[in-house]
C-alpha cells in the first residue's frame, strides 16, 4: 500500500546510558509494526497515553531507573530501555505504528527490553478502542456557554441623554477563545449591552461605535481599532471610550499585564496578546480631550477573568501606568492587580459591568443633578461590587479608578448628561 510521506516520532522510553534519541530512525532493524484502522488523532493520543502509563509503571517497579529525566514536545524520556514509537499516516484511515527498541551498551534485562512491547501494544489497543467507543456514544461538542438570563440592566432607561457628536468608542467582549482557555462567562453579552448603552443612553453616534465579539476580536482586530481606527477618527477635544470584557494575563517574566485576544495564548504571551501598556500609550497619543478605559477583566492569573500559562504561578502586579498619573486617560478596572474578577451569574454580566450599567440607569447619579461622571459613578460601583463579591462569592474584589486627581476633581469622564 502506498504511504503518505509523514512520519512522526510519538515518544521514547529510554534507559540512562543507552543510545541517544537521534540514534533511532524509522525502518531500522529490531522494529515491530502494527497497523490500525483508526483516525490519526485517536492513534496519536492513544500512543501517548500508553507510553505515559508504561512510564509510570516503570517508576513504581524501579524508582531509580524510572526517574523522569524530562519531557520535550512529544518526546518522553524516562529510565527504561528504549521504546521509540513512530506513526506513519497511510492511505485511507490506516495508521502504521512502528515500535523500536535499541540499546548500545551491554545492560540488558527482561524487565526493560522487548518484554515491554506486548504491554505497550495492549495498552495502545485498549485506549484506541476506548476512544472509538466514546466517539460513537458522545460526539465531540463545544463546551456549553452559560445560560444568559434576563437582567434588569438589559432594559435601557427611557431618559434621553445629550448627544455627543464628537465621541468614539471601541467595545470588545471575548467569552470564547480559539485556544483551549476557560470561558470568560458573559463577556460577549457584557460588550453587546455596553454597546447599546453607548448609542442609546450615553449619546454616542452609532457610526462612531465599534463592537467586536469573540472571533471578531483577534489580536489584529485590537490593533486595528484601538490604534489605527481611533487615530484616524479622533480629533482635538473629542471623547473616547474603550471597553474590554474578557481574560487578562500576567507576563510572568516582566510582571506586566496583557489583554488576551480571541487568538491569544498565555504560553506565548509576548507574541499573541496585547500589552496593557500599549493600550495606555495608544490612548495617550490620541488628540482627544479625555479617554475613558473600562476593563472588566483581571490580570493576576489566579482565576476569574484571568489566565496564565500552564505551570506558571499567579503573581502580584500593578495595572497602573505613569501615563495615567497626569494625563487625560481614566481607567475603571474590575479589581486590583492581585485579585480576581467575579461574574454576577444571576444577572448574566461581569460584576463590574452590571453595576456600571445599573449606575447609568440612574442609580449612579448620587447627587441627582442629571449628570454622571467617572468619580461619581465609581463611588456607587465600588461598594456594591465589594459587597456582592464578598457575600455571594467569598471573593475580595475592589474596583480601581486610576486617573489624575485633578482630572477627576474637574468632573472628567462625563458619562451621562440628561437633556
pLDDT of 131: 77
Between 27 and 345, name the one with better pLDDT: 345
Does 113 have pLDDT greater than 50? no
CATH 3.40.50.1460 fits 152-417, yes or no: yes
All structural domains of the chain with their residue ranges: 3-137, 152-417
Mean pLDDT value across the chain: 76
Local confidence band at 24 (pLDDT 50, 70, 90 cut-offs): very low
**Mean pLDDT calculated for residue range 385-413:** 87
Identify the pLDDT of residue 60.
Answer: 60
Strands 167-173 and 239-245: parallel
> What is the rounded average pLDDT of the residues 108-127?
64
Region for 368 from its dihedrals, namely left if φ exceeds 0, alpha if ψ lies in -120 to 50, beta otherwise: left
pLDDT of res. 175? 92
Question: Is residue 28's pLDDT more than 60?
Answer: no
Report pLDDT digits (tens) over 187-244: 999 999 999 999 999 999 999 999 999 999 999 999 999 999 999 999 999 999 999 9
Residues 6 or more apart in contact with residue 268 via CB below 8 angstroms: none
User: What confidence score (pLDDT) does residue 230 get?
Assistant: 97
Per-residue b or e along 405-415, where b marks 16 or more CB atoms closer than 10 Å to that residue's CB: eebbeeebbbb
What is the rounded average pLDDT of the residues 136-140? 57
What band does 68 get if pLDDT is binned at 50, 70 and 90? very low
In angstroms, what CA-CA distances link 358 with 110, 258, 362?
72, 28, 7
pLDDT at 33: 77
Please, what sign has the CA dihedral across residues 366, 369, 371, 375? negative
137 confidence band (pLDDT: 50, 70, 90): low
Residue 123, pLDDT above cutoff 90: no
What pLDDT is recorded for position 358? 96
The three-point CA angle 174-364-246 to 5° equals 10
Kindly give, in sequence order, each residue whose CB lies less than 8 Å from that of residue 342, ignoring residues fewer than 6 positions away: 304, 350, 351, 388, 389, 393, 395, 397
| Euclidean distance between CA atoms 323 and 402, whole angstroms | 10
The proportion of the chain whose per-residue pLDDT surpasses 90, expressed as a percent, equals 36
Does residue 270 register a pLDDT over 50? yes
Which residue, 135, 143, 222, is CA-closest to 180? Answer: 143
Torsion on CA atoms 228, 231, 234, 235, rounded to nearest 10: -150
pLDDT per residue over 69-110, tens digit each?
A: 333 333 333 334 445 666 777 665 677 776 665 444 333 333
Cell of 180: 483551549
Amino acid at each position: 500500500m502506498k504511504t503518505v510521506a509523514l512520519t512522526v516520532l510519538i515518544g521514547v522510553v529510554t534507559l540512562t546510558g543507552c543510545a541517544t534519541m537521534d540514534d533511532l530512525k524509522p525502518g531500522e532493524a529490531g522494529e515491530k509494526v502494527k497497523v490500525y484502522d483508526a483516525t490519526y488523532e485517536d492513534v496519536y493520543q492513544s500512543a501517548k497515553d500508553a507510553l505515559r502509563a508504561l512510564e509510570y509503571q516503570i517508576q513504581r517497579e524501579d524508582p531509580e531507573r524510572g526517574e523522569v529525566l524530562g519531557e520535550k514536545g512529544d518526546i518522553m524520556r524516562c529510565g527504561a530501555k528504549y521504546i521509540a514509537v513512530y506513526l506513519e499516516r497511510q492511505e485511507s484511515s490506516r495508521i502504521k505504528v512502528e515500535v523500536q527498541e535499541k540499546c548500545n551498551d551491554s545492560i540488558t534485562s527482561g524487565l526493560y527490553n522487548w518484554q515491554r512491547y506486548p504491554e505497550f501494544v495492549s495498552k495502545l489497543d485498549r485506549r484506541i478502542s476506548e476512544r472509538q467507543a466514546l466517539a460513537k456514544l458522545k460526539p465531540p461538542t463545544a463546551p456549553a456557554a452559560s445560560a444568559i438570563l434576563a437582567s434588569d440592566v438589559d432594559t435601557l432607561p427611557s431618559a434621553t441623554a445629550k448627544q455627543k457628536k464628537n465621541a468614539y468608542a471601541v467595545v470588545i467582549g471575548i467569552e470564547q477563545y480559539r485556544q483551549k482557555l476557560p470561558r470568560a462567562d458573559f463577556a460577549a453579552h457584557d460588550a453587546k449591552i455596553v454597546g447599546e448603552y453607548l448609542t442609546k443612553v450615553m449619546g454616542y453616534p452609532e457610526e462612531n461605535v465599534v463592537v467586536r465579539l469573540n472571533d471578531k476580536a483577534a489580536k489584529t482586530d485590537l490593533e486595528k481599532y484601538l490604534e489605527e481606527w481611533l487615530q484616524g477618527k479622533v480629533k482635538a477635544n473629542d471623547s473616547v471610550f474603550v471597553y474590554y470584557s474578557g481574560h487578562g494575563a500576567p507576563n510572568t517574566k516582566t510582571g506586566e499585564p496583557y489583554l488576551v485576544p480571541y487568538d491569544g495564548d498565555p504560553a506565548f504571551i509576548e507574541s499573541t496578546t496585547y500589552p496593557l501598556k500599549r493600550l495606555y500609550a495608544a490612548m495617550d497619543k490620541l488628540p482627544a480631550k479625555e479617554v475613558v478605559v473600562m476593563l472588566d477583566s483581571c490580570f493576576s492569573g489566579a482565576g476569574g477573568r484571568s489566565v496564565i500559562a500552564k505551570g506558571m504561578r499567579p503573581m502580584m502586579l500593578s495595572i497602573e501606568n505613569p501615563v495615567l498619573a497626569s494625563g487625560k486617560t481614566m481607567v475603571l478596572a474590575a479589581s486590583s492587580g492581585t485579585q480576581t474578577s467575579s461574574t454576577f451569574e444571576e444577572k448574566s454580566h461581569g460584576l463590574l459591568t452590571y453595576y456600571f450599567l445599573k449606575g447609568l440607569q440612574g442609580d449612579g447619579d448620587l447627587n441627582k443633578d442629571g449628570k454622571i461622571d467617572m468619580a461619581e459613578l465609581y463611588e456607587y460601583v465600588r461598594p456594591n461590587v465589594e459587597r456582592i463579591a464578598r457575600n455571594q462569592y467569598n471573593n475580595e474584589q475592589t474596583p480601581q479608578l486610576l486617573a489624575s486627581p485633578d482630572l477627576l476633581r474637574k468632573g472628567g469622564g462625563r458619562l451621562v448628561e440628561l437633556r
